[in-house]
Amino acid sequence: MKDYILLQLMRIMPTHALSRLMGRLAQHPASKGLIPGFSRVFNIPLEEAEKVVTEYRSLNDFFTRKLKPELRPIAASPQAIVSPADGKVAAIGEITEGQLIQAKGVTYSVWNLLGLLEEEASTFKGGRFITIYLSPRDYHRIHSPVEGDITSYSYLPGTLFPVNAFGVRAVKGLFAMNERLVTFIQSPAGKVGVVKVGATVVGSVKVGYSKEAATNVKAGTILHRQLPTEVHVERGGELGYFEFGSTVVLVFEQGKIEWLDHLREGMVVKMGEQIGEWKG
């Protein structure tokens, strides 16, 4: 009953306008004063930040901070699949009959997640997926799990339900309903979809390979765009960042990769560490 009431409240809240407002406030220089309290509340490891905390111009500048590069070494194996972000493994497994697991007994389709027709997403049926949740304390830049060429992206407007434990429990098909930005990479591991999922008070998702690609656009419409020139990215190379926290879902084609045996739901992963390998 509690989840139901909270969900109905979320449905009537102006979540998009609220998220844009929070994004603007977090970018204002006055928000710099919130950084010390924010750091304490979420127990953020300040010693990992690239800059001294007083050097950040705003709360958003701090939230999207880079880390000291030596703290996130990239797995050396040429066949490694690496974690695209710091976070917790929320779900992992096989895309069985085109379905990904959201929570126990709750699934959603890979074609809805990617904003494609079912036949267009058929190559991912029987493939592999992993869902990584980023909490407010985590590093919020997103990196490529493979070396390859960014060929296209999709912007898929939608709801902005929270992606925490409540949202996962209460909203069926949450990650295929919320607003998202999908980066497609062609690699030795086949075609890879890196799905950045928006959420309540996520100001926006930004990427470095296109100035036009961003989420939480007022009156946004579905957009599928091929890049005029493919953009090469190294394994562990930066793709973009969340302005406040959310979730990343990786999807791989059938028969291309395997996850490492020790990976389990609930595990904490760090960007750059090996989580799987592609089949050469």
Lowest mean pLDDT segment, chosen from 13-17, 37-41, 55-59: 13-17
Rg of the chain's alpha carbons, rounded to an integer? Answer: 18
Which pLDDT value is given to residue 69?
A: 85
Predicted confidence (pLDDT) at residue 59 exceeds the cutoff of 80 = yes
138 in catalytic set: no
pTM: 0.89
Mean pLDDT of 241-245: 79
Question: d(Cα 52, Cα 61) in Å, to the nearest integer?
Answer: 12
Does the structure show a pLDDT above 80 at 175?
yes
pLDDT value for 215: 58
The whole-number pLDDT of residue 273 equals 98
* Percentage, residues of the chain above pLDDT 70: 84
Q: Average pLDDT for residues 172-183, to the nearest whole number?
A: 87
Q: Which of 83, 86, 140, 144 is catalytic?
A: 86
Whether 4 has a pLDDT exceeding 80, the answer reads no
At residue 66, the pLDDT reads 96
**Most confident segment among 98-107, 165-174, 214-223:** 98-107
**HEC readout, the chain:** CHHHHHHHHHHHCCHHHHHHHHHHHHHCHHHHHHHHHHHHHCCCCHHHECCCHHHCCCHHHHHCCCECHHHCCCCCCCCEEECCCCEEEEEEEECECCEEEEECCEEEEHHHHHCCCCCCCHHHCCCEEEEEECCCCCCCEEECCCCEEEEEEEEECCECCCCCHHHHHHCCCHHHHECEEEEEEEECCEEEEEEEECCCCCCEEEECCCCCCECCCCCCCCEEEEEEEEEEECCCCEEEEEECCCEEEEEECCCCEEECCCCCCCCEECCCCEEEEECC
CB 195 within 8 A of CB 174: no
- Taken in order 103, 20, 181, 260, is the CA torsion positive or negative? negative
Please pick, among 144, 187, 210, 246, the residue that the annotation labels catalytic.
246
CB 85 within 8 A of CB 143: yes
User: How far, in Å, CA of 160 to CA of 179, rounded?
Assistant: 6
φ, ψ dihedrals at 243, nearest 5°: -90, 90
Neighbouring C-beta atoms of residue 144, cutoff 10 Å: 23
| Per-residue model confidence as pLDDT tens digits over 178-229 | 888 999 999 999 999 999 998 766 657 889 888 777 655 555 678 899 999 9
Q: Alpha-carbon torsion 46, 75, 125, 220, what sign?
A: positive
User: What are the φ/ψ torsions at residue 102 (nearest 5 degrees)?
Assistant: -95, -50
Is 135 marked active-site? no
pLDDT of res. 149: 98
Is 109 catalytic? The answer is no
Mean pLDDT, the chain, integer: 87
Give the confidence band of 132 by pLDDT, cuts at 50, 70, 90: very high
pLDDT for the residue 7: 47
Least confident of 9-13, 145-149, 170-174, 257-261: 9-13
Q: List the catalytic residue out of 143, 187, 204, 210.
A: 143
